[in-house]
A and B are shown apart, each in its own frame.
Chain A
Amino acid sequence: MTTTFRHSYVAAVFWPRLRRNRLAMAGGCVVMLLFLVSLFSPWLTPYNPNDINAWQVLSPPSWSHWFGTDELGRDVFSRVLFGARISLKVGLVAIGIAVFLGSVVGLTAGYYGGWVDTLLMRMVDIMLCFPAFFLILAIITFLEPSIWYIMAVIGLTGWMGVARLVRAETLAIREMDYIMAARCSGASDRRIIMRHILPNALSPVLVAATLGVAGAILTESALSFLGIGVQPPTPSWGNILTSGKDYIEFAWWLSLFPGLAILLTVLAYNLLGEGIRDALDPRTTD
């Protein structure tokens, strides 16, 4: 029964609202495009992103190399396309971890209340005191460089917002009549949480996750730029920029294109996330 209701809500209210928001739709299109590009990057790229060509070092954009070549003669266009893969992977996995952890903590704190709630929420407060980037740097540099660690660390330092959102939703839903009804009919805590509370607490999480992907992509690029993120020769937008920095006076294309790629991606996720927020907000009137 719940599914039909949700479907009809999505079809009748959410989607028409989202569609009217042109900025959000534009963001959504870019996000879709990026998904496709990362899926098909091996077939879309004109060159192997790691092929070195000593005769074409730092050549400016041309018909054969749309975004020019880097200091090893590698095709920047191909590297930027492959970089989309890395960014998307880091963004989605990191936020997946954050959403999972945040939901578990938020549901537990909100549903059980009492000292469990106090303890968990104080932990959230404590974690929020740390400048996240400091914590990430401290952990990442002490580990072997690996993309999996980067995703894990970004996720492990970014779940607190989700936990607060889910807890607030859970607190409100817990008092609803249908929860009481479920409890009277003998449903276990686990079933109530998973079947009745979680699905209804997810909409703010959707917004936080969309915005979070943008944040995670930015963090990864900053780490890679500092040389402690994705390690060369694997192309990532951040580490292409690192070499771009060294050649900025003679090879602007090496800095411009990966930077624009990050900018566009993060902007798209943000506009989409804000659009979803507005479309879900019952206070905004049509």
Chain B
Amino acid sequence: MTAYLLKRVALLIPLLLGITLITFTVIHLAPGEPVDMQMAMNPKVGKEARERLTKFYGLDQPLHVQYLSWLKKLSRLDFGRSFSSDNRPVLDKIKERLPVTLSLNIIALLIEFGLAIPIGILAAVHRDTLLDKGLTVFVFLGFAVPTFWLALLLMYFFGVKLNWLPISGLHTLGYEAYGWFGRVWDLAKHLVLPVLVASFGSLAGVSRYMRSAMLQVIGQDYITTARAKGLSERVVIWKHALRNALLPLITLVGFSIPGLIGGSVIFETIFAIPGMGQLFYQGVMSRDYPVVMGILVIGAGLTLIGNLIADLSYALADPRIRQGSGGRDT
């Protein structure tokens, strides 16, 4: 196990380097220079000032020098300062936004798996019946519905028409005056729509996976044996089959992280939630390069960590890997 752990962690280093390299390339291949944007906002800036700015940001250096110095700063967790008027360190900006996006996504992930696993099992057990077809269409509807459109309709219906739920932000104005319970209730009400939208959209992946994994397990000999022993169908499905079908699902948690973080741009923008997705959107729109690069690196890094945790839990759960007799082929 220790050997496996070391191997997995060692693999992170080239991947992290690759992430920084791609981030840097994407940003620097783009036409237009960051200085242009600052010039555009302030036409009084002259040619000398422009050169001074270029020099200040090190943009007059060759690309590989710029990359190395950026990398050196990154290794000290220095993501530079934002180009926006507040000029704050990028890391601070991300630090205040990350918990919002992360907790929203974790809640959405819990709801997603909590619903998708039973849906997948039901569909597999009742394979090819009307129930299976109905569930299939339901989860695909979730995948096919454009997030922003669903968000819009729900906002209009529950927020404007019925006036049951708040439609933007995370808190009501003046929520500080509420008691502890009042504050939690207020937050919960604000979270209903965004979480609903986020989890409905990703039901399909997990539940379809669960369905096919269950179908595969149900076809195995030991399930036939269990049935032949006279065990009830419920025990066979929920105890014998489910355990083995659940195992590969751990990896799926790691895989779904980039999708969820990417999706946060849409619903954070629509619901005006001050998270990382919103910060990223504002960043790209105002060409705030340090913010964009910082979020790209951190977003990809989070996926890397998520995958690592998923792989390690998988290894812990699966004796074949735990005892080092063989690894999975990636």
A residues neighboring B (CB under 8 Å): 23, 121-123, 125-135, 137-139, 141-143, 214, 218, 221-222, 225-226, 238, 241, 244-245, 248-249, 255, 259, 262-267, 270-271, 274, 283
Instruction: Tell which of B14-22, B39-47, B242-250 binds the partner.
Output: B14-22
- The one of A129, A244, A263 in contact with B15, judged by C-beta atoms closer than 8 angstroms, is A129
Assuming the contacts A139-B26, A143-B30, A248-B156, asked whether A222 and B147 have C-beta atoms less than 8 A apart, the reply is: yes
- Distance A23 CA – B208 CA, assembled complex (angstroms): 15
Q: Find B304's partner among A129, A134, A221, A270 (CB 8 Å cutoff).
A: A129
CA distance A214 to B144 in the complex (A): 8
Chain A nearest CB, measured from B25 CB (Å): 10
For residue B295, which residue of chain A has the nearest CB?
A134
A-contacting residues, B117-152, CB 8 Å = 133, 136-137, 140-141, 143-149, 152
Q: Is the CB of A123 within 8 A of B26?
A: no
- Please, which residue of chain B has its CB at the minimum distance from the CB of A22? B133
A209 to B39, CA, bound (A): 44
Q: Which of A121, A226, A274 contacts B281 (CB 8 A)?
A: A226
Q: Would A129 and B281 count as touching, CB distance under 8 A?
A: no
- Kindly state the separation between the CA atoms of A134 and B292 in the bound complex, as whole angstroms: 9
| A259 contacts across to B, CB distance below 8 A | 145-146, 149, 152-153
Contact across chains for A241 and B148 when beta carbons are under 8 A apart: yes
Interface presence of B299 (CB below 8 A): yes
Between-chain CB contacts (< 8 Å), 14 pairs: A125-B15, A131-B261, A131-B299, A133-B263, A135-B296, A142-B32, A225-B146, A226-B269, A241-B148, A255-B153, A255-B156, A259-B145, A270-B140, A270-B144
Which of B160, B265, B301 is the one whose CB lies under 8 Å from A134?
Answer: B265
Choose among A125, A138, A259, A264 the residue with the greatest number of B CB atoms under 10 Å from its CB: A138
B303 within 8 A of A: yes
Query: Which A residues lie within 8 Å of B204 (CB)?
Result: 270
Closest-CB distance, A90 to chain B (whole angstroms) = 14
Q: Is the CB of B137 within 8 A of A23?
A: yes
Q: Which residues of B contact A133 (CB under 8 A)?
A: 262-263, 265-266
- State the CA gap A88–B15 with chains docked (Å): 35
Which chain B residue shows the least CB distance to A139?
B26
The reply on B259 being an interface residue by CB < 8 A is yes
A-side contacts of B280, CB under 8 Å? 134, 137
CB <8 Å contact, A267 and B22:
no
Instruction: Say yes or no: A142-B22 contact (C-beta < 8 A), given A129-B304, A135-B296, A241-B152.
Output: no
Could you give, for residues 275-297 of chain B, a 1 whenever the CB lies within 8 Å of some chain A CB and a 0 otherwise? 00000110011010000100110
> In the complex, how many angstroms separate the beta carbon of B59 from the nearest chain A beta carbon?
15
Residues of A within 8 A of B22 (CB): 126-127, 130
Tell me which residues across on chain A come within 8 A of B145, comparing CB atoms.
259, 262-263, 266
B165 to chain A, nearest CB (A): 16
Q: 1/0 per residue B4-37: CB within 8 Å of A?
A: 0000000000110011001000110011100000
Question: B303, A270: Cβ atoms under 8 Å?
Answer: no
Report the nearest A residue to B141, measured CB to CB.
A267
Nearest A residue to B148 by beta-carbon distance?
A225
Q: Kindly state whether residue B216 has any CB partner on chain A within 8 Å.
A: yes
C-alpha spacing A127/B303, complex, angstroms: 11
Would you call B300 and A130 a contact (CB within 8 A)?
yes
Q: Within the assembled complex, what's the spacing in Å between the Cα atoms of A282 and B301? A: 38
Asked if residues A263 and B299 are in contact (CB atoms below 8 Å), the reply is no
Q: Known A226-B281, A270-B143; judge A126-B15 contact (CB<8 A).
A: yes
**Which of the residues B146, B216, B269, B303 comes within 8 Å of A131, measured between beta carbons?**
B303
Report whether B148 and A129 are in contact in the complex, using a CB–CB cutoff of 8 Å: no
In contact, A123 and B303 (Cβ under 8 angstroms)? no
Chain A contacts of B292 at CB under 8 A?
Answer: 138
> Which partner residue on chain B sits nearest A132 by CB separation?
B262
> Can you name 12 extra interface pairs (CB under 8 A) apart from A130-B303, A249-B156, A259-B146?
A125-B330, A126-B19, A131-B261, A131-B299, A134-B265, A138-B284, A238-B146, A241-B152, A266-B143, A266-B146, A270-B144, A283-B216
B258 at the interface (CB under 8 A from A): yes
Min CB distance A192 to B, Å, is 23
Point out which of A127, A137, A221, A267 has the most chain B C-beta atoms below 10 A from its C-beta.
A137
Are B15 and A122 neighbours in the complex by a CB distance under 8 Å?
yes
Complex: A121 Cα to B82 Cα, angstroms: 34
A126 with B18: CB separation less than 8 A: yes
9 A-B pairs with the lowest CB-CB distances in the bound complex, closest first: A131-B262, A142-B30, A133-B262, A266-B144, A126-B18, A259-B149, A129-B300, A267-B144, A131-B258
**Smallest beta-carbon distance B136→chain A, Å:** 7
B14 touches A248 (CB 8 A): no
